[in-house]
Structure 1
Amino acid sequence: MGGSVSLSISLEKVKAAALLFSLVCVLSLGILAMIATAGTETGEFCPTCPDWTNLDGWLAQRDAYERDQMNQQNGPQESGQAAMPPAAVPEKAPESYVRPDLITMPEGLDEKGIILDVRSKDEYLAGHISGARNIYWKDLQKNGDLEPSLLEKALGEEGIDESQRIIIYGSSDDEGGPFFFWALSYLGHENISLLDGGVEAAQESGAFLSTNPAAVEPTNYSDSIRPWMLVEPASLKGMLARSSLRILDARDFSEYGQSRLGNGSICLSHDKIYNDGSRIKPPGTLKNLFERRTNPDDTVIVYGTPQAYYLFYSLRLMGSNATLIQGDWWKETEWAVSNIS
């Protein structure tokens, strides 16, 4: 008897659950139907009321509806005339270098200025950009460092004065171009530019190479040396005392790991700022590199020549206040940090 009663109660519960489930399904379908037809009481299509029971069909209807609305906004179309396309969204302007006057692209060699080949005399005579004059960058050094009087004399002999624009180019195989850019900056020459990629990039862009030396008339060159563009032993202590100072090591990380100028110096090697050794990276890349390592108002000391000449140039190109240490005398100072036991 007790078993029959329990079975009867269980059957009643099952029936009740089934009835409740049916009611929920009916209610859900009703809600979906209301959503699908919301806003369509007049029979018009509602572009903001998705039909969740047939979403693909609703999306196709919405596209057709929007095209129809666009045609109506553009006014009546003549027979066979296509509807006006939507207005194009203007593209974001590409970023540019902060100092675009300091870089000449191989395609821009027709700009006015004196083109200066800083390779050796033999390389120059074997083939140079037409009209270029020649000063070999290594002839300006003593013990690997710039001798300003030699540069001043060479510029005068090549008929160049301090008021003229100079477009420098060298070879992608050495630091001649960036070195000469720094040397002219130190000398106080205002209007200078560096050919990106050197003579090799110019050739690839179709520049004509001549074997005829340029005819020049010697002149007098007057320098206006900027001492703040060169850090010397006597000035290093004062520089390091500045609050807004950053120190960048241009050598590769293995050299940086062995010795560096202070624990606060940061490694920024050549491969980070140049592609394939000679073509400088885009402005957006340089901007990100420098913003992560320096502040806009910082004075930036770069060291680790010869790589430092490239880094100095890239910093100036991006508007930074850069100065440079020549040679490795800094290793003998009290601020040098060595990890070699």
Structure 2
Amino acid sequence: MTKARSIPILMGIICGTLLAALLLIQSASAGAECASLGGACDDSSGGWDPMAKLNEIGNVTAAREQPAGTSWPKRSREIRWGMNSSQGGEDRDTGAAAPADSARLAEANETGDAQNVALARIAEREINMTRSLKAREMLLPLDQVSDEYILLNVSESAGRGTSKHIEGSVAIPYTEFFVQPGVLKPADQIADILGRAGISREDSVLIYGECLPCGGGPSVATYVYWMMKGLGHENVTVLDGTAEDWAAAGGATSEIAAVLPEVDYMPQETSNYTATYDLVRSGQAQIIDARSLPEYLMGSIPGSISLPYEGALNGNRITGEERLDMIFMVLREDQPVVVFTNTGIKGSVLWFALEMMGYDARLYSYLDWITEQAPDLPEGEGLRGLNETAL
């Protein structure tokens, strides 16, 4: 490897290490988040400069000292969505009942009432889980599930009699869409799978499910969402919670998946949600390595920064938009963002959150990068940091 190629890789590692450390500080308190990520992107160069952003870290007043006319992600989104940050935004769920929820949880724990404990914990997780109207178009609250949706359970155990479904759900384990992990089947084969399950491209589809080998969370649901958007499916959304949350809230469940009449699924493929190797290496996009920090340090795409996908989660759900604003403050909204993990499955969580927040986000896989780079790398070098369990 030449010295010229080593410099951007070293800079990416230094940048990613510092940012990852800041994300750990973020999880400690909201005050630490503001202190760590205050400041706007420097637009003077016309490009995305993560090192300039790092120079601003620690300036808690930087976000309030924006030069007139400066474009920064949160303000841009306020303009786009018609929100007024000084008023909190009329379309936001403020979670004002949080103190009562905490008291309810304490009381439920004391009495040992299992159902009340479950309900109280769901309510407690709503603290700081703000959702704009735009976000609720992608993440459907439990209390808005209705018969207009075809519910699709994509858990790896779906359809195998080992998990409960929300009553009326069809089941397609996400693994059925793969040739191998992270490599999707051709569009016509995926369309055939969906059609045989009774889903057409015109249906409103609500996706839910977890991947326990992936550590839980909504990664497989967000990945299948990304996949279906790539097929041209417009009316698709992800459940804002799990089947367990649904059951705890009193929703009906079943051990048997629904069977719908077969239909034709006619895909209209689009590349708007997928990054190509040429885009990644062009320098025109911001590159986010959503894997763990150790994986990032073992090998990554040159120029990428480390932003582990777990930062976008609150338990098993996508975190609130106020926190996402802080996490994504380092990014420019007027420049595409490419998110990758080894196969893209876990990376889809961060991709989904970026889309929800109004960014032009694309999903990519480190596997594709290594494949494309193989002729230029010493044998085995590109495979460092890539393992079968990190999706």
Question: Which TM bucket (shorter chain)?
Answer: 0.5 to 0.7
Q: Is the 8 A contact 2:159 2:172 kept in 1?
A: no
Confirm or deny that 1:260 pairs with 2:300.
yes
State the partner residue of 2:288.
248
For residues 163 and 196 of structure 1, what CA distance do their matches in structure 2 show?
22
Instruction: Identify the match of residue 290 of structure 1 among 328, 344, 347.
Output: 328
Work out which of the residue numbers 342, 350, 356 in structure 2 matches 1:311.
350
In 2, the alpha carbon distance for the partners of 1:152 and 1:322 equals 24
Structure 1 residue 269, shift from structure 2 partner:
0.7
1:23 aligned partner: none
Task: State the 1:335 CA deviation.
Answer: 9.4
Q: Secondary structure at the match of 2:300?
A: strand
Alignment partner of 1:227: what SS?
coil
Establish whether residue 226 from structure 1 lines up as the match of residue 270 from structure 2.
yes
1:270 Cα offset (Å) = 2.3
For 1:248, the aligned partner's letter is I
Work out which of the two has the higher radius of gyration on C-alpha atoms and give 1 or 2. Answer: 1
> 102, 109, 115: which one pairs with 2:138?
102
TM-score for both structures, normalised by structure 2: 0.57
* Equivalent position of 1:5 in the other structure: none
How far 1:178 moved relative to its partner? 1.9
Q: Which amino acid aligns with 2:208?
A: Y
Over 3 Å counting, the alpha-carbon distance change for 1:224 and 1:124 in structure 2 is farther
Using the TM superposition, give the Cα deviation of residue 121 of structure 1 relative to its aligned residue in structure 2, in angstroms. 4.1
Distance 1:289 1:126, change over 3 A: closer
Q: Which amino acid aligns with 1:286?
A: L
**SS of aligned partner of 1:116:** strand
Q: CA deviation at 1:204?
A: 2.4
Q: Which runs of 5+ in 1 are unaligned?
A: 1-89
Q: 2:358 is matched by which residue type in structure 1? A: G
The aligned residue for residue 237 of structure 1 is 278
| Contact map agreement 1:99 1:318 (CA 8 A) in 2 | yes
CA contact (8 A) 2:336 2:360 kept: yes
Equivalents in 2 of 1:130, 1:248: separation in Å? 38
Partner-residue secondary structure (3-state), 2:365: coil
User: Structure 1's 121 and 250: CA in aligned 2 closer, same or farther, altered over 3 A?
Assistant: same
Aligned match of 2:224: 180
Partner of 1:27: none
Range that drifts further, 253-262 or 167-176: 167-176
Q: Give the stretch that moved more between structures: 121-130 or 282-291.
A: 121-130
CA distance in 1 between counterparts of 2:223 and 2:88 reads 38
Q: CA RMSD in A?
A: 2.7
Equivalent residue, structure 1, for 2:174: 137
Identity %: 23
Higher relative contact order, structure no. (Cα contacts within 8 Å, ≥ 6 residues apart)? 2
Specify the SS of the correspondent of 1:197: coil
The AA in structure 1 aligned to 2:254 is: S
Contact preservation (8 Å) 2:220, 2:346: no
TM-score, normalised on structure 1?
A: 0.65
State the match for 2:40 in structure 1. Answer: none
Can you list the C-alpha shifts for 1:176-198, whole angstroms capped at 9, x where unaligned?
21221111111111111111232
Letter in 2 for 1:301: V
Q: Report what 2:310 is aligned to.
A: 271
Whole-Å Cα distance in 2 between the matches of residues 146 and 201 of structure 1?
Answer: 29
Question: 1:129 touches 1:208 (CA, 8 Å); kept in 2?
Answer: yes
Aligned length in residues:
244
Report 1:151-162 matches (<5 A).
151-162=190-201
Show CA shifts across 1:52-109 (max 9, x none): xxxxxxxxxxxxxxxxxxxxxxxxxxxxxxxxxxxxxx87643534442110122322
Contact 2:337 2:359 in 1 (8 A): yes
Unaligned regions of 5+ residues in structure 2, if any? Answer: 1-86, 93-129, 385-391
For the residues of structure 2 that align with 1:255 and 1:115, how far apart are their CA atoms? 35
Distance 1:330 1:113 in 2: 37
**Alpha-carbon distance, 1:139 to partner:** 0.8
Q: Distance in 2 between matches of 1:288 and 1:127?
A: 36
